[in-house]
Structure formats: structure tokens, C-alpha cells
Amino acid sequence: MSMTFVRGQKARLGDLTPDTRLTVGVELVGRGSFDISLLGLDGRERLSDDRYFVFYNQPQSPEGALRQLGAGGGYTQRFEIDLARLPAFLERLVIVATTDGASFADLERGRVGLEAQGRELARFEFSGRDFTRERAIMALEVYRKDVWRVSAIAQGFVGGLHELLVHYGATVTDPPPAPASAPASAPASAAPPAPKVNLGKVTLEKRGEKSAVSLKKGGGTQPIHVNLNWDQGQGKKRGFFGLGGGGSADLDLGCMFELQDGNKGVIQALGRNFGSRDYPYIFLDKDDRSGVAVDGENLYLYRPDLIRRVMVFAFIYEGTGNFTQVNGRLTLKDADGNEIFMQLNNPDARNTFCAICLIENRGDRIEITKEERYFPNHEPADRHFGFGFNWRAGSK
């Protein structure tokens, strides 16, 4: 027997079906046309991997766990969801819709149906009376909160697709507008070009928060750029977002790494271990001891596909007593310009070594986890992360 949802109602998926392969159908009838999409979100409710934005120009996710099926069975659009094949980092699936009409207040009727093995499990109906000026809506969520659950939403965004995607941590770059007129002989375009989804800037605020960089683009050969910057005191800043200036705080960027072939090592200015672009494909560009380099200190992972894990760290060499005085921050960028930002916002005044983040190869993606763990020096940090190095005192 099918369950009828009302707006805001939630239910355990297990109370509806034991199946993990589902079909979601959406029917929208009203003025204008409708585009219906499926977003796969991480635990922070962010679209951290744009391959899980399933829409008319990208009809399925890489492993096929999410697929757009097209119209059928009385629905405007249908999607197949295979929860058993879904990557572990995805915790929320959202059915969204946009309109080229005035707004969803013009909607005559809307319906979402949840099915398994051809049997309707639940349905949710709504209409234009539920909206005002919204041009994009979230219709239904399937999400994991200890178990998989279903939620009827029918809430939206006046700003349309752009505002919706920004809400989920992405930005939209619209295609250039068509010229005002075209030669009579010019063929009509079959469909407007799809908007480009750009992940933009993701901020990891708390220890344990994660984001991901796809390894599918470029076959894992596109480098990841890691930048460390900090304040020099008296309002003088350096790095990506600051100005060059004086001051004596000397922070060093480095990493402990393990490659897929089992090789391990440490990249840092201490001991002049700057790495190499060739092997181990990790390179530290310089040791900025003066505090005047506007681009800070930079670490490059040239072959992310060949790493197993990398722990990125910063430590204070001289010039300041602890991390509470320097406002440290780390930025990671991939070749597409997507940016992951971490502020060292919980500094420990007792320690001068910070393990900032852990970068791990997950097969189809590189996963970045904020750590921000403080230690007196390298050795206890190594013990915590289990690289197993032998340590001795070093100098520049």
C-alpha cells in the first residue's frame, strides 16, 4: 500500500521497503517548461563532486548508482537510485526542479512518486499554492541519518538554479546570451547549452570535515596546489589573499607522504628535502624565511593518482611563539580552479607543529579531511598518523 506524504513529512526508508534500488518519478504540469535534476551531496550537504549532478547533459553518475531515465509512466522525469552502489561520501540525494515560466506559483500540479520493483511506495503531491516567486525547488530528499530516510520538501529559491546550486556549495556560470538576431539561414539550436557547474570555494571549518577532488578528469595527472599563508603581525599579511610585508614569523609548509608503490618520505625545507616534480611527484617550491613572498609557500602534488596518503603540516621555525599569533590558513586548488580552504581556527598555544589535513586516494577521487591537530614537533605527529619514520634533529 502506498503512503501519502504531506509537506515536511519524513519516514524511514526501511519502513517502506527493504530494497536499495529505487525509482523516483516527478510530474510537473503548468505554464512553461521544467528541468528536473538529481544532486548527490556529501555529509556537509555540499555538491563536492560535480559528477553527482545528474541532469539532461550528464545523465548518470560515474559508477551508475544515479541515472536519469527520462519521461515515462505519467512522469515528466524519472531517476533510478541504487543505494548499494552509492559512494560512501554521499549522504543526501535531492530531487530539484527549475522552470522557465514566471515561477512555481504557476504550477497547476506536481507529484513525486517513490517506487521499488515497479510498486509505488510513497507519493507526495503539491501545487502552485505552495509557492510564491520560487523559480527552483527541492521536491524530495533521500538522506542518511543512521539509516536511509525520505523527506517531502517542496521548498525553493527565488533566484532559480543559480541560487539553488550556491546553496549547495557550487556556482553556476551561465552560457553567453544568444545574439539578438541571426541570419535567416542559420539553423535553430536543438537545445540551449548546459550551464557549467563550478565547485567554487569549499570551506572546511571543523576537524573531520571532508571534501573531494575527482581523479576522473585528466586521469589523475592534474596537479593539486597546496598554499600556506599567515599574518606577519601588526596587520601585515602574506600569501594568496594578502600583501607582502615585513615581520619575522617563519612558518614552514611540508608533508609526510606514502605512495601507492609503498615509498614513504617527508617533504620540507628543514633538511632541504624539497621533493621533485618527477619522483615522488611532490614538490615544495621554496622556503620563504623573509615573509615578503606574496605567494606564500607552495606544495604541489603532480600525480595525485600515484599517492596513497599525504599529511600536510605546518610548523613554526622561528619568529613567533605559537599559532595563536599568526592566523594560519591553507588553500588547496585543483586544475579546474576548485578551491578547498581551511583556517587554523583552533590554535594550541602549547605547540608549534600543526597537522593541517590528510589527503587520501579513494580510487576515483582524492579525499581531503581537515585535521588541525597540534603537536610539540614532527615525531609525535608521525606516531599519531602511523608513517613510521626515524627522526633526528635538523636545520635549514
Whether residue 196 is predicted with pLDDT greater than 80 in this model: the reply is no
Residue that the C-alpha cell 515536511 belongs to: 8
Sign of CA dihedral 286, 287, 293, 297: positive
Residue 111's pLDDT is: 96
Return d(Cα 1, Cα 15) in angstroms, integer.
12
Look at the block and give the residue holding cell 581537515.
370
Please, which pLDDT band fits residue 221 given cuts at 50, 70 and 90? confident
**What pLDDT, in 10s, does the model give residues 89-122?**
999 999 999 988 789 999 999 999 999 999 999 9
The lowest-confidence range among 122-126, 172-176, 377-381 is: 172-176
Query: Is residue 369 a contact partner of residue 208, using CB atoms and an 8 Å limit?
Result: yes
Q: Residue 187, class by beta-carbon neighbours within 10 Å (0-12 exposed, 13-18 middle, 19+ buried)?
A: exposed
d(CA 164, CA 363): 29
Q: What's at 132, amino acid-wise?
A: T
Please give the helix or strand (H or E) that residue 347 lies within, else none: none
Write the DSSP symbol of residue 101. S
> Which stretch of DSSP H or E encloses residue 382?
helix 378-385
pLDDT value, residue 5: 94
Residues in CB range of 111: below 8 A, 6 or more apart = 25, 26, 27, 75, 123, 124, 125, 126
Locus of grid cell 526542479: 97
Q: How much of the chain is helix, strand and coil, in % rounded to 5?
A: 10, 45, 45
Q: Which residue has the higher pLDDT, 287 or 64?
A: 64
| 157 beta partners | 136
- Burial level of 145, CB count in 10 A (0-12/13-18/19+)? exposed
Secondary structure class of 346 (helix, strand, coil): coil
**Domains in the chain: ranges and CATH:** 3-175 (2.60.60.30), 201-385 (2.60.60.30)
The pLDDT assigned to 318 comes to 65
Q: Return the DSSP state at 100.
A: S
CA dihedral 193, 199, 200, 205 (to 10 degrees): 160
Give the CA distances from residue 247 to residues 239, 286, 350, in Å, rounded to whole numbers and listed in that order. Answer: 13, 18, 22
Phi/psi of residue 157, nearest 5 degrees: -135, 125
**pLDDT tens across 346-357, in order?**
998 889 999 999
Radius of gyration of the chain (CA): 25
Strands 282-284, 297-301: pairing is antiparallel
Pair 6, 130: CB distance under 8 Å:
no
> How high is the pLDDT of residue 316?
87
More confident residue, 39 or 174: 39
- Could you tell me the pLDDT band of residue 394, with boundaries at 50, 70 and 90? low
Q: Grid coordinates 509512466 are at which residue?
A: 73
Of 145, 62, 131, 63, nearest to 97 by C-alpha is 131
- For residue 189, what is the DSSP state? P
Contact partners, residue 155, CB within 8 Å, separation at least 6: 134, 137, 138
pLDDT band at 230; cut points 50, 70, 90: confident
Q: Tens of pLDDT along 119-170?
A: 999 999 999 999 988 999 999 999 999 999 999 998 888 888 888 888 887 7
Dist CA 245 CA 116 (whole Å): 62
Residue 390: CB partners within 8 Å, gap ≥ 6? none
The set of residues, in sequence order, having a beta carbon less than 8 Å from that of 175 and lying 6+ positions away, is 192, 193, 194, 195, 196
